[in-house]
Amino acid sequence: MLPVVMYHHINSDDLPLSNTQEMMEAHLRLISERYTTVFPGEEADSNVICLTFDDAYFDFYHYVFPLLKKYHLKALLAVPSAFILEDTDIPSKRRLSLKHHEIYEEDNYKTYAPFCTYTELREMIHSSHVAIASHSMNHVNLSEENVDLEKEIFSSKVVLEENLGVRVESFVLPYGKYNDAVVALAREHYPYVFRIGNALNPSWDGIGGLLYRIKGDALPTPDSLFKPLKQVSFWMKTIVKIVKGS
Ligand SMILES: [Zn+2]
């Protein structure tokens, strides 16, 4: 079974969606001691884990990217492309200053630059510590009516590929929301489609369809994820044995 962990913020006021810098460092250090991190599609045998960060907030570049380099880890960053600026000279302190609920208000994504820029995304890709997923264009609930699915699911991929010069093969569903049309279109354009829980698109060779995405925000202790990971792994293996009748 391949565990996939979903994180959002570092040092945000939105505590359910955030870890502190200290907790994240202790947690990532433990991961580096116990697991090998992989990008979607990479060979996944035992003791492998996939780390995913949603929304591409600037706090990822500021706090997490240095830790990935320090501990030799890889992470998938899910980017909502409508909020990404080419570059910015806004100081880091201002970029980190918004409360979570203010980030998507009005033109704050331009006047505060609370998301990673394309310049920063390219730097992270070139470091080989970060791979990019599309997280739709506008970070909308794709299961609602009157959403332009072609634009949110497919054009978001094209925009990222043109700006970053890499293939974008993963899609992370905003809010984990979807319906049949969303899944069909996402599967058409991406080999890897993530939500919370099991994968919607088990095309990752070597994991036998066994992928499980769990929440890594608001960790109470640096090792609190490892116990549920073991339990999930145990039950997934048990279910497979029952299905296969062995
Ligand atoms: Zn999101």
pLDDT digits (tens, 9 = 90+) for 172-191: 999 989 999 999 999 999 98
- Residue 55 Cα to ligand 1 midpoint, Å, equals 5
Where is mean pLDDT largest: 12-16, 41-45, 163-167?
163-167
User: What is the model's pLDDT at position 210?
Assistant: 67
Number of Cβ within 10 Å of residue 141's Cβ equals 14
Tell me, in angstroms, the distance from the centre of ligand 1 to residue 240's CA: 30
Q: What is the secondary structure of 218-242 as a DSSP string?
A: S-SSTTTTHHHHHHHHHHHHHHHHH
Both structure tokens of 57:
């907030």
Q: How far, in Å, is the centroid of ligand 1 from the Cα of 140?
A: 9
Residue 174 Cα to ligand 1 middle (Å): 5
The domains located in the chain, with CATH, are 2-244 (3.20.20.370)
Q: What is the CA radius of gyration of the chain?
A: 17
Three-state SS at 69? helix
3-state helix vs strand vs coil in the chain, percent to 5: 40, 20, 40
230 has a pLDDT exceeding 80: no
Å from CA of 8 to ligand 1 middle: 8
Distance, CA 56 to ligand 1 centroid (Å)?
A: 9
User: What is the 99 CA–ligand 1 centroid distance (Å)?
Assistant: 16
Q: Ligand 1 center to residue 243 CA distance, Å?
A: 33
Distance CA 64, CA 71 (A): 11
End-to-end CA distance of the chain, in Å? Answer: 17
Convert the pLDDT of each residue in 101-127 to its tens digit.
Answer: 999 999 999 999 999 999 999 999 999
Token digits of residue 223: 């090792």
By residue count, the chain amounts to 246
Cα 246 to middle of ligand 1, angstroms: 39
CA of 107 to the centre of ligand 1 (A): 18
